Structure formats: structure tokens, C-alpha cells
Amino acid sequence: MTTPSSRRDAIKKVATMALAGTALSSLSERVSAHESAVGTALKGKVNHSVCAWCYGGIPLETLSQAARDMGIKSIEIISPEQFETIKKYDLTCAMVGSISKDWGISRGWNRKEHHAPLVEFYRDLIDKTSAAGFTNLICFSGNRNGLSDEQGIINCAEGLKQVIGYAEKKKVTLVMELLNSKVDHKDYQCDHTKWGVELCKAVGSDRFKLLYDIYHMQIMEGDVIRTIRENQQFIAHYHTGGVPGRNEIDETQELFYPAIMQAVVDTGFKGFVAQEFVPKRPDKLASLRQGVQICDV
């Protein structure tokens, strides 16, 4: 039989242990939260960017602040009049946009009759890109419209050579995007890595390279990792996107982006990887954050 004093002592002991347990539990939760935060910090091996057009419902100011807070360094595929907005948030533009009412994906360098106006158009954009301190400017082959792939390379190279010297002088790289012609951009000519590489060789300048869009090239040819390893010297930039659908790049689609990004890093690539998927979830910025973390190997 216990005495009142021993019962009180026992209760005090239990209470003290409970308080200690609560304190330890609270400390453990705080430590766990800290470790979680540290775990999601970017590792610095990948330079992250995001394509503005995928977040059209979000003001550029809001997207810029969110991107900076996530550790993203660039917002891209924007026009010169938008440069000052992203610069306010200490962001760069890793790939300057070049679509206008006259020129774009379907109308590009593969037609000789386009060359003279395109040279004028791109010289202006090269000037603006260089003046802003940016280095990459996107360009497109245009659609085939019955043109053979061989002649398309000849025509593109002939036109690009008329402006590439100016790009070299201004330290701006013209970057042609590889796009799929199966689902999204019917008849687009620069739709296989091999074609793009042959064009790079024909132009013969380090200021002309490829934008390897992982989403598009998975649709057209697959074999993504080996293709990256074998052609990395011709690639200036990467875009992401879930296949099929060009939505989130998580387990809801077929590509395993951590392995692809590790392959990119292993090539010694120092450029940018841009998220170019279209979020289908309501919280678009949460999807963006998830995409960046998936790619941050």
C-alpha cells in the first residue's frame, strides 16, 4: 500500500516525465521541420528556369517573386518589354522569345524568301538581348510544306549564316527548338535531334545550338538519355514536360526526370533547364515547385 506522500511523488515523477516527453517531442518536430526545409533547398547543380507562357493566368510580377523564392534563376520565353519586370527580382532570361505576328514556329528559316526579313528581325532582337545582358535567343525552322529535310537544312543554314556573324559579335546564341510534329506542331521541320545536329554542323558556329525539349523528343524519338549524352555539345538549353499531355512531370506521366537530369548534369552542362509543363492542378505554383525539386538532382 502506498502512502499519500509516495503517491504524490509518483504523480510528480510522471508529470515531469510527461513534460519532458512533450518538450522532446516538440524539439523533434522542430528539428524534423528544419531538416525537411534543408532537404528541399536547391543543390546548385542545375540552373533552373521557367517558361512564362505556362502560367499565363499569373501576373509576371507574381510569377517572378514566386520563382525567386523557389530558387529559380530565370523566367524565359518573354519579350524585351518584359525584361525590366524580371530584373527587379534579380532574375535573368535564359531564353528570349522571338514569336511575332509574322514569324514563329510554322514560319521560320527554312524558306529562302523569309531570309531577308528574318535577318532584320533577328538583328533587332540580338541587339535587345545583348543590351539586356542575356545570351540565348530562340528560333525556329518553320514547317516543311513539302520541303525535303535535306533542302530544309540547306535553306536554314544559308539564312542563319547571314546573321550568325552578328550574333557572334554580340555574344548571343541563336537556339533552334526541337519540337514534335506528331501531336503539337504538325509538319514542323526541326522535329528530330539528328536533323538539328546536322543543321548545327552546316552553320558551323558555337553561337548556333539546339533547344532540346525533352517532352517533344520523347514523343518523336524516345531514347532521351543516350541522345543527350551523344549530342550534348550541340545543346544549349533544355525544356521539360510530362508525356503525354505536357502537364506535371511527376509520377502521373511516363518519363523519370531525376535520371534524365542526372544524365544532363553528368555531361558537364552549365546552361539552364526550364520547366515548360502546363500545370493542370489548381495550385500552379505548387506544381512548379514540385517540378523544380524533381529536377534538382
Quick one: 201 and 256 in the same domain? yes
Question: How far apart, in whole angstroms, are the C-alpha atoms of residue 247 and residue 54?
Answer: 10
Contacts of 148 (CB under 8 A, 6+ apart): none
* Angle, in degrees to the nearest 10, between helices 224-231 and 193-203: 10
User: Of 107, 181, 184, which is closest to residue 140 (Cα–Cα)?
Assistant: 107
Number of domains in the chain: 2
9 lies in the same domain as 90:
no
Cell of 94: 535564359
In tens digits, the chain (297 residues) has pLDDT values of 444 444 444 434 434 444 444 443 443 333 333 333 333 589 999 999 999 999 989 999 999 999 999 999 999 999 999 999 999 999 999 999 999 999 999 999 999 999 999 999 999 999 999 999 999 999 999 999 999 999 999 999 999 999 999 999 999 999 999 999 999 999 999 999 999 999 999 999 999 999 999 999 999 999 999 999 999 999 999 999 999 999 999 999 999 999 999 999 999 999 999 999 999 999 999 999 999 999 999
Pair 210, 152 in one domain: yes
CB 86 within 8 A of CB 64: yes
The answer to whether residues 188 and 158 belong to one domain is yes
Q: Does 30 share its domain with 51? A: no
Judgement on whether residues 5 and 75 belong to the same structural domain of the protein? no
Question: Are 125 and 265 in the same domain?
Answer: yes
Tell whether 143 and 241 lie within a shared domain: yes
- The answer to whether residues 83 and 15 belong to one domain is no
CATH code assigned at 212:
3.20.20.150
Same domain, 28 and 56: no
**124 and 181, same domain (yes or no):** yes
Same domain, 49 and 14: no
Cell numbers of 216, please?
A: 517533344
pTM of the model: 0.86
Rounded to the nearest integer, the mean pLDDT of the chain is 90
Residue 73 lies in domain? 44-295
pLDDT tens per residue, range 80-120: 999 999 999 999 999 999 999 999 999 999 999 999 999 99
